[in-house]
Amino acid sequence: MHHDAKPPRLRRDGRAAALFAGPSLIGLTLFTLFPIVLSLVMAFFQWPAVGERTFNGLENFATLFTDPVFRRALLNTLLFVVLYLPLNLIVSVGLAVWMGPRIKGRKALRVVFFLPVVTPMVANAVVWRMIYQPNGLIDGSLYAATGTHAPNFLGEQGWAMFAVVAMSVWQGFGYNMLVFSAALDAIPRHLLEAAQIDGAGPWRQFFRIMLPMISPALFFATTMTLITSFQIFTQPFLMTGGGPGNDTETLMMFVFDKGFSIYQFGLASAGAWIVFVLILGVTAVQFAGQRKWVNYDV
């Protein structure tokens, strides 16, 4: 039979595919692939916004690593990630577990905790500035209650970064909490019930059953949160402007500043690539390590 020789599986839709995938492919090439290549090229040039561009090899990178502000921004960003990531995960896992199926109104609570995630960061940052500043919500309450003033959270060395981290956790954890909530709800009830009958207390149930069962979600959330937290920009930009001194200056702020305040595109690109490589490295470590703790056989 002849039409057996050419079953529909071998049909090709080349022309239709060009039509359907075309817009996306063109857009992605133009607005992602081309810029990423351009960015790498720029990193090896002295590339002002207007005027002569000259190839300068690794000089941009050398300039960056001897620039105390860049080094400080690098350290600050790492500090932010190291503080923000575990706090975000602990709060989001903790609340997701707490808001188990026996809690009344859990759907409404989820909306409450998710609200700041969908609110413009600018609005969040503005209200937190009012909360932190002298005479603001915290200082005003503390003074009324005890007669002593609170520190100037955004203006004092040693406080500013923690203030930025706290605000960021408040704003961001609702997203991961939803991811964990969904993962926890997917755990078969009989597993937890069986453990209960065997006399496992709540902590044992948490560490032995819940945590391993949500480990794929945990891996996903950790990876995404890592990638986004390395790009921290809006919160310090609006709340502290990088201050006091350079205490909350982050890498993204540094790139923004080099790029769009003094228009040194080459230097800015080199800085951005350092962040990118850092993100790639950390993500690679994450993926390499996942075999040890992520449990996919459910």
Partner 1 sequence: MSDHAVRRVRLVISHIALYLVAAAFLSPLVYMLATSFKRPDEVFGSPPSLFGSVFRWQNYTEAFEYLPFGRFVLNGFAVAVCGTLVVLVASATSAYAFSRLRWRGRDGVFLVFLATLMIPQEVLVVPMFMLMKWFGWVDSYQALIFPWAFTAFGTFMLRQFFLTIPEEMSESARIDGAGAVRVFTSIMLPLIRPALAVLAVFTFINFWNSFMWPLIIINSVDEKATVPLGLQMFFGQQGTQWNLIMAASVISMAPTAGLLILLQKHLVRGIATSGFGGR
Segment contacting partner 1 (CB under 8 A): 67-75, 143-151, 187-195, 204-212?
Answer: 143-151
Q: How many whole angstroms from its chain centre is CA 20?
A: 32
140 binds partner 1 (CB under 8 A): yes
Q: Among candidates 125, 236, 104, 105, which has minimal Cα distance to 170?
A: 125
Q: Among candidates 237, 130, 110, 223, which has minimal Cα distance to 177?
A: 110
| Beta carbon of residue 298, minimum distance to partner 1 (angstroms, whole number) | 15
Give the type of residue at 164: V
Site for partner 1 in 97-126 (CB under 8 A): 98-99, 102-105, 107, 109-124, 126
* Binding residue for partner 1, selected from 74, 242, 252, 257, defined by CB under 8 A: 252
Segment contacting partner 1 (CB under 8 A): 153-161, 188-196, 203-211, 250-258?
Answer: 250-258
Site for partner 1 in 207-246 (CB under 8 A): 220, 224-225, 227-228, 230-231, 233-234, 238
Give the type of residue at 105: G
Are the C-beta atoms of residues 62 and 43 closer than 8 Å to each other?
A: no
Helix (H/G/I), strand (E/B), else coil: 247 = coil
> For residues 156 and 185, which CB has a smaller minimum distance to partner 1 in the complex?
185
Site for partner 1 in 51-80 (CB under 8 A): none
Residue 74 is encoded by which pair of tokens? 């690098």
| Beta carbon of residue 212, minimum distance to partner 1 (angstroms, whole number) | 19
Are the C-beta atoms of residues 199 and 205 closer than 8 Å to each other?
A: no
Segment contacting partner 1 (CB under 8 A): 12-20, 67-75, 191-199, 289-297?
Answer: 12-20
Site for partner 1 in 156-185 (CB under 8 A): 170-172, 175, 178-179, 181-183
Binding residues for partner 1, total number by CB under 8 A: 100
| Beta carbon of residue 153, minimum distance to partner 1 (angstroms, whole number) | 14
Rounded distance between C-alpha atoms, residue 219 and residue 292, angstroms: 11
Give the type of residue at 10: L
Residue 34 is encoded by which pair of tokens? 């081309």
The alpha helices in the chain, defined as continuous H runs, are 2-5, 14-28, 34-42, 59-66, 68-98, 106-118, 121-132, 137-146, 160-185, 189-197, 202-205, 211-213, 215-229, 234-239, 251-260, 265-293
Rounded distance between C-alpha atoms, residue 204 and residue 212, angstroms: 12
| Beta carbon of residue 48, minimum distance to partner 1 (angstroms, whole number) | 11
* Binding residue for partner 1, selected from 33, 58, 75, 298, defined by CB under 8 A: 33
| Beta carbon of residue 63, minimum distance to partner 1 (angstroms, whole number) | 16
* Binding residue for partner 1, selected from 131, 160, 164, 213, defined by CB under 8 A: 131
Segment contacting partner 1 (CB under 8 A): 17-25, 59-67, 68-76, 157-165?
Answer: 17-25
> For residues 172 and 242, which CB has a smaller minimum distance to partner 1 in the complex?
172
